[in-house]
Chain A
Amino acid sequence: MSTRLAQGGRLLNKDRTLKFTFNGKHLKGVEGDTLASALLANDQMLVGRSFKYHRPRGIVASGAEEPNALVGLGKGARFEPNQRVTTTELFDGLTCESQNHWPSLEFDVGEVNSKLFARFLPAGFYYKTFIHPRPFWKHLYEPFIRQSAGLGKPPRRGDEDSYEHFYAFVDVLVIGGGVAGLQAAKAAGEAGARVLVMEQTAHWGGRAPVDGGEVDGQPVDKFVDEIVAALEEMPNVTLRNRMMGAGVYDHGYVLGYERVTDHQPEAKGPRHRLWRIRAGQVITATGAIERPISFAGNDIPGVMLASAVRDYAVDYGVSVGDRTVVVTNNDDAYRTAITLKKLGLEVPVILDARASGGGRLAEEARQMGIRIETGKGIAKVKGGKRVEGVAICAQAGEGAVLEEIKCDAVAMSGGWSPVVHLWSHCGGKLIWDEAQAHFRPDVDKAPTGDAGEAFVIPAGAANGALDLAGVLADADAAGRAAAKATGHSPKSAAAPVGKAVEEAAIEPIWLMPQGAKVQLRMKAWLDYQNDVKVSDIQLAAREGYESVEHAKRYTTLGMATDQGKLSNINGLAILSDALGQPIPQTGTTTFRPPYTPISMSAIAGEAKGPLFQPLRKTPMYDWHADNGADFEPVGQWRRAYCYPKRGESRHGAVNREIKQVRDSLGLLDASTLGKLIVKGPDAGKFLDMLYTNMMSTLKPGRCRYGLMCNENGFLMDDGVVVRLDEDTFLCHTTTGGAEAIHGHMEEWLQTEWWDWKVYVANVTEQYAQIGVAGPNSRKVLEKLTDDDIGPEALTFMGFKDITIAGVPVRCYRISFAGELSFELAIPASNGRAVWERLIEAGAEFGVTPYGTEAMHVMRAEKGFIMIGDETDGTVIPQDLGLGWAISKKKDDYIGKRAQERKHMADPKRWQLVGLETVDGGVLPDGAYATAEGTNANGQRKTQGRVTSTYYSPTLKRGIAMGLVLNGPDRMGEVLEFPKVDGTVMKAKIVDPVFYDKDGEKQNV
């Protein structure tokens, strides 16, 4: 059983007890514990169930590579699934629960099922079994599989914590705060470079203090303390712990994931901070990860990486078992045996798979009286929910049991793999190091920047330097190189000299025993989290999945939340063996960011709640809100859709607003309309190219409605163009078009007509714009101004600068509602004041504010098109009966050539008409008019479609506009529009102008 030792625990403060719960059980840990060490201290070996077979699983590792020990952490708005206990720092009051079990962790139905059916679940099982009959997948197989599969459950509530981003720029970014990272930082920092060091754990020094060794004649932990103190003194060096290098991207862009308050959730401040860093050079000092060994039962709780067993003992004063069998193919695992023995724990045997055995560490172990068996391995681990013993066999054989040894823990080491993830993210290549049996960075094929220069330098164990002396020398060189590459001059100081015990060579062991029979291979786990076994990879190879990427997807090897940190190398070694090819030929799968999962909220940063998206507000927004406006989004703007009175429906409000405008007076907040100033001697020529109309002939003081097409001839924007003076035009655009049309103008001016003398400025937000519409609109304005705005002084499509309530206002006489109406452009800071004066002055006329829907209906009654309703990116002005707005005199305008192409000039293009329902009802939006017969796909043929449809309170009937084949020639014909409910609506083709065809209302 696992327990807390009386002594040891260099990271602990045993004076402070922390309480926590696991599956409702109340447990205690101490300050400095991880959740993993605290669980082990409470003998909680069983922590979860595997993904596919629901096998009991325990903690395997002590760091970010942990595949098994995932829990649901926290409650309610702070619940988070799939949290690794090894990287979760314990805090008082922590609550967590294990995952993927039913009904309980101790007794799981899924496990019973898998024991009965396991032989039916080899690689590709789902693909092969459930593909036929097809309908069964959706209705039978998938629901069943979904119930039994899956890891954590998604949180049910929104996240209440806060998150943020931070942009940092440094010369040298060091990822990893072990001895390599610290030394590299010191070398770069001493050269004067701006350095940022990030370390994913809460502690500096990495593995070195646990593994031991000397630096410049003193213990390595003392060296770590001193170098950290030295770096803290350097003003150009920043040290950040609890911050992981998540991803390395193009041009030295790196994401750092800082867990600011995970370890103290009640503290103020953001929970996570996502650092978005630009670095001149990136040093990946990311260390190495120990590999498991593939033997039968290597997933039983109590089987752990040898380094993890050592970490728990030294760092947290926790013994995983009283009797620990060590199994290894290298010398490093002897350190675990020696450590345990020194703590007074039993190591019944060290099984060294190498026939030749180990070096000086082995000698030391032997002298301590530990039994060592060379050329031996584990045939199988005995036990269910925890280790009970091991059966020993010859590594060279097929698994015949030589001896059984009782134990409650197994410490395994299959060698060390450099953490090459961050090196690889942006294209760094790897080479296979035969001597050390691992992939390490190919330093000649580094990720490159915009000038083809390398911008990532691996350092220390991450570069394949596994001994302390090599680590320090390599890291020092990396730091100097990075400083030099960023324009600094490294000092000539000597690098610190590390000294560690000499080690004998590793011997790669990919399967134990090497000739293991299928019964053993079926229980030899490669990927713990996704339940992939040696036999699965071999099956995939037999079935033709030769590419490592294909084998990965077929078997799900390395596809879980741990992304195969423990399993990948072992898996591809098995695959290589099955394919009879060397490991480098098989290669690795692609390493993609993030290194370990980062929170979605950290990616969102501040963009949540009220800051989720910018809301654009007009100067009168607050008035609308105070007066009951029902808002609708128009791009990022919020516009009033209508202003319902108490108890009034939206529909009722819209009808009332329209009636009031038509009868008397209404006000529209039109501030969102785009307003672009176009100025210069060539402005007229420029606008003649942009609009289909002739704009250069417009007289100063006059307005003209214009259409704008894109290069393909399609109508993309419309609006009123005003000529302010000889050189200056003001172009109104649609609300959604303001920024895009501004960009369109700049693009043509900067790329094609760069020699034309035209400047453009977007003044959309300078003005609050108020539409004053209705028969009494002139009267209300006359109450507020002394200027003459009579029918002669200000004619239709003219404008005049006037003063309203003391505010300078540009008054346009234009109409979109078909009534006498004006638009006022007011400096935005006075917008609300003028609006309120108009409301006051309009009281005697029963003035009403009206929203976008009333505006839409009224323009439809007048047959005015709306960009986005009548147009959808495939419609040209000619389709809409707007030929009158296309100048015949001009040689060219943007879109002209496209409109002359055969398809665009085809008389069979659907044309705009009005549609009047026979029964007075309202046509559904987007409904199609059917034609006789069916097309090649057996679908009913169509001859038109509805583009805008409304109830017109003015006409007291449904009105619509639509595009219809030969429409204008078919006035009076009745078309059929089938509805979704199966019924059919009939509508007569009519003129699109339903109201005041002669324009008498607006010309008064």
Chain B
Amino acid sequence: MSEPVSALNGASFDGTVAVREAGLQGMITLRGDLSSAKMKKAVKNATGAAIPGTREIAVSRESAAAWMSPDELLLMVPYDTAAEALGKIDAALKGEHYLAVNVSDARAVFEIAGAGVREVIAKLCPVDMAPGAFEPGTIRRTRMAQVAAAFWMVDAETVRVVCFRSVAGYVFGLLCDAAEPGGEVGFFV
């Protein structure tokens, strides 16, 4: 079997922050009644995480559940376990009205790391990145320059960005441009 390859095959750049394509990430779009007990169980079974609150991401070891909309979650699991996780969801939600679909290959994931990550995001996204306003545990689905993106903080100096696979090159270019040395803003201190 040929090895799956992520959109940019692990491209990286060192600027005011380190930018790297994080490689393949298992992802499942899950839609349904987020308040139901079965849904809670399905998410727990698939990711180990609880149902996240509005604009939140619940992390459990290598997996996570992220809030996307009032009836949609994005579940993240290791790439090669996506099918297995999907099976667990289908089993838990049998008979319910829901939609669960593997979108692992539809996306690209970037990790940016360094003291300036808040600034790099604030150059590209209309989001308040000030400490206190955006912290680990928060996720935002928004616009990054001209494309759709979502991001969350892994820790105080690390942000993960998800975008569609077809625009991975564009988003990588945006992040590198925003991390160009000399462009430090000094707003979040």
Contacts and interface: CB of A to CB of B under 8 A. Distances in A.
B65 to A, nearest CB: 17
B5 interface: yes
Interface string A745-781: 0000000000001011101111100000000000000
A728 B35 CA distance: 23
A267 B31 CA distance: 50
Contacts of A637: 166
Contacts of A806: 1-2
A696 interface: no
Given A167-B127, A677-B99, A767-B105, A833 B182 contact: no
B166 A837 contact: no
Contacts of B178: 164, 606
Contact of A606 (B98, B164, B177): B177
A731 to B, nearest CB: 13
Interface centre among A605, A828, A834 (most CB of B within 10 A): A828
B99 A164 contact: no
B6 interface: yes
Interface in B1-35: 1-7, 24, 29, 31-32
B105 A766 contact: yes
Interface stretch (A71-79, A590-598, A615-623, A938-946): A615-623
A167 B5 contact: no
Nearest to A826: B105
B91 to A, nearest CB: 16
B55 interface: no
A805 interface: yes
Interface in A647-696: 677, 679-681
A765 B4 contact: no
Interface string A815-856: 000000000000111101110010000000000000000000
A924 B111 CA distance: 51
B125 interface: yes
Contacts of A607: 145-146
Nearest to B103: A766
A760 B99 CA distance: 8
A168 B101 contact: no
Interface string B74-102: 00000000000000000000000111011
Interface stretch (A16-24, A268-276, A947-955): A268-276
A659 B145 CA distance: 43
Contact of A828 (B3, B101, B106, B174): B106
Interface centre among B7, B99, B169, B183 (most CB of A within 10 A): B99
Nearest to B79: A829
A614 interface: yes
A126 interface: no
A165 B119 CA distance: 11
Contacts of A613: 146
B165 interface: yes
A4 interface: no
A766 B169 contact: no
A191 to B, nearest CB: 17
Interface string B157-189: 000000011111110011001101111110101
Contacts of B115: none
A165 B122 CA distance: 8
Interface in B132-164: 133, 145-147, 164
B123 interface: yes
A832 B2 CA distance: 10
A759 B97 CA distance: 9
A833 B145 contact: no
Interface in A268-326: 268-270, 273, 276, 278
Contact of B187 (A238, A269, A611, A677): A238
Interface in A958-996: none
Interface in A684-727: none
B146 A829 contact: no
Contacts of A827: 4, 104-105
Nearest to B126: A167
B104 to A, nearest CB: 8
A162 interface: yes
B174 to A, nearest CB: 6
A619 B101 CA distance: 20
Nearest to A612: B146
Contact of B106 (A238, A268, A764): A764
Nearest to B125: A167
Contact of A832 (B5, B102, B147, B170): B5
A275 to B, nearest CB: 9
Interface centre among A269, A614, A680, A832 (most CB of B within 10 A): A614
Contacts of A680: 97, 99
Contact of B128 (A169, A679, A807): A169
B189 A235 contact: yes
Given A238-B187, A827-B4, A761 B170 contact: no
B170 A833 contact: no
A505 to B, nearest CB: 45
Nearest to A261: B182
Nearest to B6: A829
A765 B164 contact: yes
Nearest to A766: B106
Contacts of A194: 130
A615 B2 CA distance: 27
A599 B7 CA distance: 35
Given A759-B32, A767-B105, A166 B1 contact: no
Nearest to A269: B182
A611 B145 contact: yes
A135 interface: no
B4 A759 contact: no
A619 B24 CA distance: 14
Contact of B167 (A168, A614, A764): A614
A489 B173 CA distance: 44
B170 A169 contact: no
Given A677-B101, A759-B98, A611 B170 contact: yes
Contacts of B5: 829-830, 832-833
A610 interface: yes
A875 to B, nearest CB: 30
B128 to A, nearest CB: 4
A980 B170 CA distance: 41
A532 to B, nearest CB: 41
Contacts of B187: 166, 168, 238
Contacts of B174: 606, 611
Given A616-B166, A765-B106, A269 B183 contact: yes
Contacts of A614: 145-147, 167, 170
A268 B182 contact: yes
Contact of A617 (B101, B107, B166): B166
Interface in A402-424: none
Contacts of B165: 619, 765, 828
A262 B78 CA distance: 48
Contacts of A162: 177, 180, 183
B106 A615 contact: no
A669 B55 CA distance: 37
Given A607-B145, A613-B146, A616-B167, A830 B4 contact: yes
Interface string A615-637: 11111000000000000000011
Nearest to B146: A614
Contacts of A605: 145
Given A681-B97, A759-B97, 11 more contacts: A167-B122, A268-B182, A614-B146, A615-B170, A616-B164, A616-B167, A679-B99, A759-B32, A761-B31, A767-B105, A830-B105
13 contacts: A164-B178, A165-B123, A169-B130, A268-B181, A269-B182, A273-B185, A607-B145, A611-B174, A761-B103, A763-B103, A806-B2, A807-B2, A827-B104
Which 4 pairs between the two chains have the least Cβ-Cβ distance?
A: A268-B182, A806-B1, A269-B182, A829-B4
Interface of A: 162, 164-169, 194, 235, 238, 267-270, 273, 276, 278, 605-607, 610-611, 613-619, 636-637, 677, 679-681, 757, 759-761, 763-767, 805-807, 827-830, 832-834, 837
